[in-house]
Amino acid sequence: MKHHTFCAAALAVAMLAPPLHAQQKRPIDRADQLPVHSYAVTKTPSALLDDEAALADSLRADLEADLAAYDIRDTSTLRSYYRALGTIAMLQDRPDEALEYENKARPLEEKPAARALSGFTLRPLIAAEKAGPAAAAQAFSAALAAELARLPYESVQAELKSTRQRLGILSPAFLQGLVQSTIDPAAKGGRLSKELALELLNRSFTLRACCRTAMRSSVSSRRSSTLTT
């Protein structure tokens, strides 16, 4: 009888204990403690700006695996992982997941202005995507106006003006040339580091979101009336 009671108690404890894999995350205090990832590319990176699907899949798999295996305690590194996965989610038409990642990244920002600006262009882009092609520009404009209205302008004016300047020079040709001059040379051996692969996906997302939709003209009109104060 005592034997059966002991076995039952042991089984209950085992069932209540957290899964073993949840207890085995290795703590990471610095980015250089994480695995080094690189990616084979069969085209020049500039040719992948419009053909990033396979690279995005590989990066997503590695980033998610790292988050599952490691307790990343360096806030800057963890924030960069969330932002990268958010960008990939947008490229893969998973806007709700992209917003979830941004919401995880926001509290990891160290500067108040960065926290205030977290997602201020992402949410309008998601609104536009959900509205569909016919209503995308209007949805983006309305959402952007709401974002700008809630911002504490005195605290973020420098960042808003910097955003305006960047938007002023964005074009498909500019982004293509930027990738050709900065990333293509690094891929001559047929591989890209994780950092450069992430940079390429960021450029790809910028190209898709800001240069090849009606959203850019919407941002331009809003910036002239709101970002020039």
- Give DSSP secondary structure letters for 155-211: HHHHHHHHHHHHHHH--HHHHHHHHHHHTGGGGTTSEEEHHHHHHHHHHHHHIIIII
Question: What are the angstrom distances between the C-alpha of 216 and each of 94, 127, 167, 209?
Answer: 21, 14, 8, 8
Q: Which of 71, 82, 141 is nearest to 109 (CA)?
A: 82
The amino acid sitting at 174 is F
pTM of the model: 0.82
* Contact in structure between 26 and 18 (CB atoms under 8 Å): no
Task: Identify the pLDDT of residue 145.
Answer: 93
Which pLDDT belongs to residue 72?
Answer: 97
pLDDT tens, the chain, 229 aa long: 545 554 454 444 444 555 544 558 999 999 999 999 999 999 999 999 989 999 999 999 999 999 999 999 999 999 999 999 999 999 999 999 999 999 999 999 999 999 999 999 999 999 998 998 899 889 999 999 999 999 998 889 898 888 888 877 888 899 999 999 999 999 988 999 999 999 999 999 998 886 655 444 444 454 444 444 4
Q: What is the pLDDT of residue 96?
A: 96
Cα angle value 209/215/202 (rounded, 5°): 20
Predicted confidence at residue 153, as pLDDT, reads 87
Q: Amino acid letter at 219?
A: V
The predicted structure's pLDDT at residue 209: 81
Between the CA of residue 202 and those of 12, 53, 116, 213, what are the distances in Å? 49, 13, 21, 16
Cα dihedral sign for 191, 196, 202, 208? negative
Give the N- to C-terminal CA distance of the chain in Å, as an integer.
Answer: 81
